[in-house]
Amino acid sequence: MEKELKPLLKSLARVAGLLWQKGWAEASAGNISINLMGLVSFDSQASPEEIPLLTPRPELGGMSFLVTAAGSRMRDLAENPERGTGVITLSNDGAGYCVSWSGAEGFRPSSELSSHLAIHGLLVSRGSDYRVVLHAHPDELIAISLVKDFQDPEKLNRLLFSAQPEVGVLIPEGVGFVPYTLAGSEELSRATAEAFRNHRVVIWANHGAVAVGRDAEEAFDLMDILNKAARILLLSGKGQWV
């Protein structure tokens, strides 16, 4: 099974290493999920135990996702991604999921699974070719989420565009902003999915950021570009601290 997943695991490991090197994945922070639709089938290996979802995802019925495990560390995933990941397959009605494959002992999916599935549901419903959802803790994006001037999405994006021209070129839609909401909650998943209707990167205030891409590298690049713009803003002294 690892052979079929090997290219995806290799990409995931590379990005996990970058997140660790950047300091965006302290301890067990950060998580990644990849939509495997059309790539790998796990029906014959699915566990008989179905775990219900608090919010059913009928649009994802029957689909499988490679997901980092709860408590997994990006520094370890960079070295051995198989031991920190698993595959979940949603039931046909999207009401629950079973574990189809796991390289992690006692695998449980990331605590942010609800937000990941909400975003994947939006992407699938739109026919998007974005398969990867990446969450990390970029220092400067978190820092600006604490700055009063940056808590207004319109002003936030205007300042980010002014700090680095590449933002306007590569991310013309700018970044979404979700005020602080309890991590792992259904409220956060709903607010995040709504923000992704018009964005590919969303800041979670006081928490981190989430990005989507066709592959893990693309999602990382988008987050990296925006974080550099945020760092430039902070170094320049723009914005008023709360």
Report the 3 state secondary structure along the chain: CHHHHHHHHHHHHHHHHHHHHHCCCCCCCCEEEEECCCCCCCHHHCCCCCEECCCCCHHHCCCEEEEEECCCCHHHHHHCHHHHEEEEEECCCCCEEEEEEECCCCCCECCCHHHHHHHHHHHHHCCCCCCEEEEECCHHHHHHCCEHHHHCHHHHHHHHHHHCHHHHHHCCCCCEEECCCCCCCHHHHHHHHHHCCCCCEEEECCCEEEEEECCHHHHHHHHHHHHHHHHHHHHHCCCCEC
* Range scoring the smallest mean pLDDT among 115-119, 191-195, 219-223, 232-236: 232-236
> Residue 23: which of 181, 143, 140, 138 has the closest Cα?
138
pLDDT at 237: 84
Q: What is the largest CA-CA distance in the chain?
A: 57
Give burial (CB, 10 Å; 0-12/13-18/19+) of 205: middle
C-alpha 81, offset from chain centre = 16
Read off the tokens for 229. 């713009």
Q: How would residue 47 be classed by pLDDT, with cut points 50, 70 and 90? A: low
pLDDT at 44: 47
pLDDT at 213: 98
pLDDT at 42: 62
172-225 confidence digits (pLDDT tens): 999 999 999 999 999 999 999 999 999 999 999 999 999 999 999 999 999 999
| Whether 97 contacts 88, CB under 8 Å | yes
What is the pTM assigned to this prediction?
0.95
Fold of the 2-236 domain? L-fuculose-1-phosphate Aldolase (3.40.225)
| Whether 74 contacts 36, CB under 8 Å | no
Domain boundaries, the chain: 2-236
Mean local confidence (pLDDT), 80-103: 96
φ and ψ at residue 74, rounded to 5 degrees = -60, -35
Angle, CA of 196, 238 and 21, to the nearest 5°: 60
Question: What's the mean per-residue pLDDT of the chain?
Answer: 93
> Residue 60: which of 134, 133, 135 has the closest Cα?
133
Q: How would residue 124 be classed by pLDDT, with cut points 50, 70 and 90? A: very high
Mean local confidence (pLDDT), 110-125: 97
Would residue 112 show up in a list of annotated catalytic residues for this protein? Answer: yes
Q: Are strands 201-204 and 176-178 parallel, antiparallel or unpaired?
A: parallel
Determine which one of 82, 112, 140, 218 is catalytic.
112
d(CA 170, CA 150): 20
